[in-house]
Chain A
Amino acid sequence: AQTIHQWPVAEIKAVGSPLSLGCTIKGKSSPNLYWYWQATGGTLQQLFYSITVGQVESVVQLNLSASRPKDDQFILSTEKLLLSHSGFYLCAWTRDSAETLYFGSGTRLTVL
């Protein structure tokens, strides 16, 4: 069975500090990977997706970046956090482009 693990569960960070959120998928080779973000009271927005190692496509510009250093790993990061980065970040995967989306448990980020 496939499992998806996100870390950390929650973060409280200062404006201007760096951020790194991680996501790993076990039990599935070459998954499509996605990062989503939801501001408090907002709609879930897709940020990035990756269909293979080393390739990441940006969907929404939020002064964030993503990388896929390994087949089973997806990283979301920034060197300088903004207040507007606060929210709930979800990693997700699919077997292929036209497939069911499975979400991780999410990371709640508070930027102060």
Chain B
Amino acid sequence: GDQVEQSPSALSLHEGTGSALRCNFTTTMRAVQWFRKNSRGSLINLFYLASGTKENGRLKSAFDSKERYSTLHIRDAQLEDSGTYFCAADSGYNKLTFGKGTVLLVSP
């Protein structure tokens, strides 16, 4: 089965509200990265975490290797936050496994 389970697959938010995306891992991962897809389809790195939490503006991410999950929290969502977000887990050995993505739609 998939090593990385990302949820939800789609999320709708009103401007100013917040929510969380989550990735569960079937095995112990040594790090996690979160990305956002840009307009051309490439991926922009949001966070790299080997443990703990990181925050950048209205985004905050957490990674618990022992409990095998990571989260990406979005607060005070803005229209420009709409897009597709991915987590990717680093199992070591230069291999990164991606989740299937979350399509976020922020509406007025």
- Which residues of A are at the interface with B, using a C-beta cutoff of 8 A? 32, 34, 43-46, 49, 51, 57, 59, 88, 90, 97-106, 108
Contact = CB atoms under 8 A, between A and B. Distances in A.
A100 B95 contact: no
A100 B33 contact: yes
Nearest to A41: B100
Nearest to B96: A46
Contact of B33 (A45, A97, A101): A101
Contacts of A46: 95-97
Category for how many chain B residues contact A? 20 to 34
B42 A98 contact: no
Given A43-B98, A44-B86, A103 B33 contact: no
Contacts of B90: 98
B46 to A, nearest CB: 10
Contact of B94 (A32, A104, A108): A32
Contacts of A57: 94
| Chain B facing A: main interface SS | strand
Contact of A100 (B30, B45, B92): B45
A102 B38 CA distance: 13
B37 to A, nearest CB: 10
B94 A105 contact: no
Contacts of B101: 43
Contact of A98 (B30, B44, B86, B100): B30
A72 B64 CA distance: 35
B33 A90 contact: no
Contact of A106 (B42, B94, B95): B42
Contacts of A88: 41
A103 B42 CA distance: 7
B40 A59 contact: no
Contacts of B95: 46, 49, 59
A70 to B, nearest CB: 19
Which of B30, B48, B50, B99 has the most chain A CB atoms inside 10 A of its CB?
A: B48
B98 A99 contact: no
B88 interface: yes
